[in-house]
């Protein structure tokens, strides 16, 4: 809440697959909200629900106390914040919360540049997909000043559960680690589905049988169901999954780390995306792995 006790004014930049439902929850919680999206049609439905539709990022952030960004990558975030006049339009004391998934060094750079303008910056990428964004159950990994993060408790609580994980950039490194786990687990579930079917068992029965055991996970629950239904409309696209795995690889190289499981699943996503799977859900990696085994298994899309 603001010092006066009224709901603080929020701007939301990037109202696509994830940003749209996040912004909608803030609106439903009663926060005055200005929204901007590069494709204005993706933000227009929020206008009908009470948001102010801005023509530019700078217009959206005017007088905002909190600014959320949910954009494609580090280049997009930098462009919106620093090339569009947005940073200069922010009022001193405002807080920028970047929920995009970008490389840690970029988050640190953005924080330093904003600090010079009297603006606080929190890198707080999220996990939980479109379902979590819609239901307010996102896991938010926040890097930056602990007091600033604590001061946004009322706002974060509308979106999910926030954890302060360290200084600027720490949120992004934790998100990359999260994406490692997601990608490797998707690969493991997909390979298990292929093994089960080739061996003569039912994929659906297999998934039901192991629920509640040591192999239980949200990936098995949600993405295992997608694999069985063969529903690969994107909640999180394979292209974005690959982007995150490439960022993991860059950080690992910088830290002189060998991460063989991550390297292998990154190679598989690279091939899947190059063959046209980039806009399919990341659980669609199953399709690529099935294609490697067409002589053994038969499937129908």
Q: Measured between alpha carbons, how far is 102 from 117 in angstroms, rounded to an integer? A: 22
Closest CA to 176 of 75, 246, 98: 246
Q: Measured between alpha carbons, how far is 262 from 220 in angstroms, rounded to an integer? A: 19
Identify the DSSP state of 258: -
Q: Measured between alpha carbons, how far is 25 from 28 in angstroms, rounded to an integer? A: 5
Token pair recorded at residue 72: 């494609």
Q: Measured between alpha carbons, how far is 244 from 250 in angstroms, rounded to an integer? A: 10
Identify the DSSP state of 83: I
CA–CA–CA angle 253, 258, 259 (5° rounding): 105
Closest CA to 268 of 294, 250, 296, 287: 287
Q: Which of 175, 243, 280, 298 is catalytic?
A: 175
Identify the DSSP state of 38: S
175 is catalytic: yes
Token pair recorded at residue 156: 């974060």
Sign of CA dihedral 25, 28, 29, 35: positive
Provide the annotated active-site residues.
175
């Amino acid at each position: 809440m603001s010092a006066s006790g009224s709901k603080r004014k929020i701007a939301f930049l990037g109202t696509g697959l994830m940003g749209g439902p996040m912004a909608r929850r803030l609106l439903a919680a009663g926060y005055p909200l200005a929204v901007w999206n590069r494709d204005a049609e993706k933000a227009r439905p929020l206008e009908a629900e009470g948001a102010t539709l801005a023509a530019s990022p700078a217009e959206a952030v005017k007088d905002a106390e909190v600014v959320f960004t949910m954009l494609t990558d580090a280049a997009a975030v930098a462009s919106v914040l620093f090339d569009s006049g947005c940073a200069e339009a922010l009022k001193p004391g405002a807080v920028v919360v970047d929920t995009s998934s970008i490389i840690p060094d970029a988050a640190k750079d953005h924080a330093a540049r904003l600090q010079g303008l009297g603006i606080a910056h929190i890198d707080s990428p999220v996990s939980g997909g479109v379902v979590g964004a819609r239901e307010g159950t996102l896991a938010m990994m926040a890097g930056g000043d602990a007091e600033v993060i604590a001061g946004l408790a009322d706002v974060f609580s509308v979106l999910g559960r926030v954890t302060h994980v360290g200084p600027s950039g720490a949120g992004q490194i934790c998100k990359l680690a999260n994406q490692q786990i997601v990608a490797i687990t998707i690969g493991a579930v997909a390979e298990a589905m292929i093994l089960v079917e080739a061996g003569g068992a039912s994929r659906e029965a297999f998934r039901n049988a192991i629920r509640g055991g040591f192999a239980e996970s949200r990936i098995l629950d949600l993405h295992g169901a997608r694999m069985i239904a063969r529903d690969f409309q994107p909640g999180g696209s394979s292209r974005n999954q690959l982007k995150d795995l490439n960022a993991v690889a860059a950080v690992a190289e910088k830290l002189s780390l060998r991460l063989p499981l991550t390297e292998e699943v990154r190679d598989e996503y690279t091939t899947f995306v190059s063959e046209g799977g980039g806009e399919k859900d990341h659980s669609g990696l199953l399709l690529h792995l099935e294609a490697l085994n067409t002589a053994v298994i038969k499937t129908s899309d």
